[in-house]
Structure 1
Amino acid sequence: MPTGTILVADDDAAIRTVLNQALSRAGYTVRLTSNASTLWRWVSSGDGDLVITDVVMPDENIFDVLPRMKKMRPDLPVLVMSAQNTFMTAIKASEKGAYEYLPKPFDLKELTSIVQRALEEPKRRPAVDLDDSGEGMPLVGRSPAMQEIYRVLARLMQTDLTVMINGESGTGKELVARALHDYGKRRNGPFVAINMAAIPRDLIEAELFGHEKGAFTGAQNRSSGRFEQADGGTLFLDEIGDMPMEAQTRLLRVLQQGEYTTVGGRTPIKTDVRIVAATNKDLRHLINQGLFREDLYFRLNVVPIRLPPLRERVEDIPDLVRHFFTLVEKEGLPAKQIDQSALNLLRRYRWPGNVRELENLVRRLAALYPQDVISENLLEHELSQPSVSSMEEETSETVNLGGSVERYLAGYFDTFGDALPPPGLYHRILREVEYPLISAALAATRGNQIKAAELLGVNRNTLRKKIRDLDIQVMRSTR
């Protein structure tokens, strides 16, 4: 039978009653208070074996009290509850030394299980002051799926465990990687990202590990690789499923032995980096096809994190829209609002491009339309969907341009009637289709050619050649 005294602090009488009943039935002695000062008096006098507390109390924010608690009684487990349910709440709870963070509403069985585990295995976590107002949060959303991600990230912040992020394009894999770095123990070191899909396969090893002068044709000087650049910090390996087998073998050696050699070099170089990998592919399927090393997969997949597509977390759309409107307003675009019917329309849309597509939509709305309030009619026009029902029936994960191209070609040939089109048809059609398509992709990614190449599904070097050949003017990315 569990034993121990639980101190519960919450200004909501209903929460106190529910916790008192659940914990008492589990065999614990429970003391209840509605303010932080009483809780602090109990803790400072040595009372209680575990604390369960809300964040916002009538007299004081618990994050201001928690460091004092941990300094006085470092082995006292503290469970933090909050209805704010943001990424920063979870991170602050961890950084301030909380044993666990629970978003409201919470599951009572889960809570009692955490209480039992905390009392059996008390953990001591370092308290690190985190000064952040919550603005510019790297991750936004209060859905259950995002809450679980916040909790996992909070547990990982003070570790160097290798993390594998899996999710569709546009779900925010790099944002998660940056959050792990920016709020973790390596925050003062560099964050270096490399996209395997955007680099020619024969250059990936040199990009990762660097090369010596004369190592290959064109290597006129020694060049440092991403591992050297990221030393002491975090190396983000994006689209790891596109890494060629030769580079996979070298990467496995680094993960196993903590050292590497440059291309053309002989002297082993020690490395001190945290690895965060990401992919939108099924690596198990690639392993079965012989395209990905199974031993490397197990080395990278120490802590797996799955990012849900936006269609699985549509309740986060209002928060995301407000967040993106705030960002674009700070960048100088007009302030906008969105009405409820338009939000409902956004919830019904399938979002093949996920959060990235939503952000690009918000930017277009802010830049192109004079209306202060975005309506459903305006939004339907911008989404280029014939009806709401067609959006609900759409199940494709990718943007289908086939119908638009077919209509364009049909209209093009109709202009000539029975006569033959002029010579050079192939190149003329190709240019007239590619130019607006590439221009739209660059506009959507604000001139970021790596992201535009990913959006179009082409190699970055191919995209650069197309931009040059078609004489497309590229705007500079602001991010």
Structure 2
Amino acid sequence: MSGTLLLVEDDDAIATVIIAALEDEGFQIVRCVSIAERNDNLSAAAFDVMLTDVMLEDGDGLESLAEVRRYAPDMPVIVLSAQNTLDTAVRASDSNAFEYFPKPFDLDELVRAVRQAAGDRERSLDSFPESDSDAMPMVGRSPAMQGVYRMITRVLRNDLTVLVTGESGTGKELVAEAIHQLGNRRTGPFVAVNTAAIPHDLIESELFGHEKGAFTGAVVQAIGKFEQANGGTLFLDEIGDMPAEAQTRLLRALQAGRIRRVGGRQEIAVNVRIIAATNRDLAPLIAAGKFREDLFYRLNVVPIELPPLRERREDIEVLSQHFLAQAAEDGLPRRQLGSDALARLEQRNWRGNVRELRNVIYRLSLMSREDTIDAASLVDILGEEPPLPGDGTADADGGIGAALDIWLAIEEPASGTVYASALAAFEKPLIEHALSRTGGNQLRAAKLLGINRNTLRKRITELRIEPDRFTRPL
């Protein structure tokens, strides 16, 4: 593969890595660092592919893509961005970008995308509908959430059935709402139904409606969720709890695009996009004969798996700030989190995931006596959380408890200052040890400690740690 590529990237380190990788693939690369330079190059020469950052010194690389289309209407554009939000991913798709990569990106994936773009100049994408970024309901910039965002953008232009899986509290309905609000059915209704909350003998009536007199209590005709969602999206939550008979009727409706009300004779055509969700593993249910395998394959056309919060702890800071702002808008006192309190939140188990974090932040906003919530007040309000079984927490025999006992015997801190004093005494050597173990790599050290990289950087600065002395020579 060979070709010409225009690289618009103002970060020297990132540009060097990209150029080295793509030159090995035979590409001839012209690099520039601004929108003005980009336009000058496009007016002077033709390129097979353009790779562009979003935030440039003289403007927004995404907002100015209309100018690029005037110079090269068919040239594939690949977007890179450190602004890793669903808003950015959708904006990239709105701009007819060939592909979008959040930073940090997988270099091999980027190279494959460039090769594909260079060999597929004729590919064109329909325009996305304009979206209101203020309505974006999803928050998170972790690599796990970037994968979710990219999957969402891939299903906005089509009506493929989506199955969203994940633990309770991870935000499955938010994914469904985002797909609806940003997709080609956004002008139609969004109807959500929790199949686990409906009595089994009423679920068919709830979904498909019923005619007057169809059963005891059916005194009037009722329109079901399928008809209510006609022209829009039907979100079926907790699909794994649907009874067998309703599964059969749902499968028939998905296959035929038609439904029949309970007690009715006439088939009714419905035009509905289905998004289903479950917090259960459907494979054992299928094996036990409790969930239809053919229905599973009908629903699982595009799977989107939401990670639990404990697997994306780097998102806890931005989620906490988001919920603090929400709490203030809802009339609670405006609070902020101290770095020590944030570190404690990042270390909690979060069995209830994002929903639990939101509730915790609201409780802290209400009950904190100070505008800035520190670790001591956090523990006072929430209490100490018991560790998960087998989480490696050291016990008092020869572990952190023994070390704390020795420290207390030597330091004898004043009454009421034990927590703050112990944190100060143990935090710096702990961070230094993590940096030493990882050769000064702050990203790996943050993962080792189970905290956000930005939090680690703040603590390195506040504790006056010199990270360079841990860097191993190449």
Please give the TM-score of this superposition, normalised by the length of structure 1.
0.78
RMSD over equivalenced CA pairs, Å: 1.7
How far did residue 394 of structure 1 move? 7.2
1:288/1:197 CA distance change after superposition, 3 Å: same
Q: How does 1:216-231 map to 2 (within 5 A)?
A: 216-231=215-230
Task: Tell me if the contact between 2:128 and 2:183 (Cα under 8 Å) persists in the aligned partners.
Answer: no
Measured after TM superposition, the shift of residue 31 of structure 1 is 1.0
Using the TM superposition, name which of 362-371 and 207-216 deviates more. 362-371
Partner of 1:127: 127
Matches within 5 A, 1:335-354: 335-354=334-353
Equivalent position SS for 1:391: coil
- Shift in CA distance, 131/248, structure 1 to aligned 2, threshold 3 Å: closer
Match of 1:420 in 2: none
Structure 1 window deviating more from structure 2 (36-45 vs 256-265): it is 36-45
Instruction: Write out per-residue CA displacement over residues 436-477 of structure 1, whole angstroms, 9 at most, x where no aligned residue.
Output: xxxxxxxxxxxxxxxxxxxxxxxxxxxxxxxxxxxxxxxxxx
1:391 aligns with 2:387: yes
Which stretches in structure 1 are left out of the alignment for 5+ residues? Answer: 396-479
1:188 aligns with 2:187: yes
Specify the alignment match of 2:313 in structure 1: 314
Asked if the contact 1:324–1:362 (Cα under 8 Å) also holds between the matched residues in 2, the reply is: yes
Aligned length: 390
The alignment partner of 2:264 has SS state of coil
| Structure 1 residue 135 displacement after superposition | 4.2
**Range with greater deviation from structure 2 (41-50 or 354-363):** 41-50
Displacement after TM superposition at 1:70 (Å):
4.1
Aligned counterparts, 1:236-251, within 5 A = 236-251=235-250
Offset, 1:288: 0.8
In the alignment, is the contact (CA less than 8 A) between 1:40 and 1:65 conserved in 2?
no
Query: Structure 2: which 5+ residue stretches go unaligned?
Result: 392-474
Distance change (3 Å), C-alpha of 1:70 and 1:228: farther
Aligned to 1:36: 35
In the alignment, what sits opposite 1:215? 214
Report what 1:203 is aligned to: 202
The one-letter amino acid of 2:17's match is V
Query: Which amino acid in structure 2 is aligned with residue 89 of structure 1?
Result: T
Q: Could you tell me which amino acid in structure 1 is paired with residue 202 of structure 2?
A: L
- What is the SS of the residue equivalent to 1:315? helix
Contact 2:163 2:303 in 1 (8 A): yes
Conserved 8 A contact 1:211-1:265: yes
Distance 1:377 1:290 in 2: 51
Distance apart, 1:13 and its partner CA? 2.4
Checking the alignment, whether the CA contact within 8 Å between 1:87 and 1:139 is kept in structure 2 is: yes
Report matched runs for 1:35-434 at 5 Å. 35-43=34-42, 47-70=46-69, 73-122=72-121, 123-128=123-128, 130=130, 132=132, 134-135=133-134, 137-385=136-384, 390-391=386-387, 393=389
Separation of aligned partners in 1, 2:128 and 2:52: 19
The C-alpha deviation readout for 1:393-423, integer Å capped at 9, x for no partner, is 477xxxxxxxxxxxxxxxxxxxxxxxxxxxx
Cα separation, 2, equivalents of 1:361 and 1:345: 12
For the residues of structure 2 that align with 1:41 and 1:277, how far apart are their CA atoms?
48
Of residues 160-169 and 369-378 in structure 1, the stretch that sits farther from structure 2 once superposed is 369-378
**Shift in Å at residue 77 of structure 1?**
1.1
Cα distance change on mapping 1:120 and 1:62 into 2, 3 Å: same
What's the secondary structure of 2:201's corresponding residue?
helix
Aligned mates of 2:79, 2:193 — CA distance in 1 = 36
Query: SS at 1:32's partner residue?
Result: strand
**Paired letter, 1:290:** G
- CA gap of 1:392–1:280, structure 2 versus 1, over 3 A, is closer
Taking the aligned partners of 1:17 and 1:166, their CA distance within structure 2 comes to 39
SS in structure 2 at match of 1:63: coil
Q: Deviations over 1:152-175 (max 9, x none)?
A: 111111111111011010000000
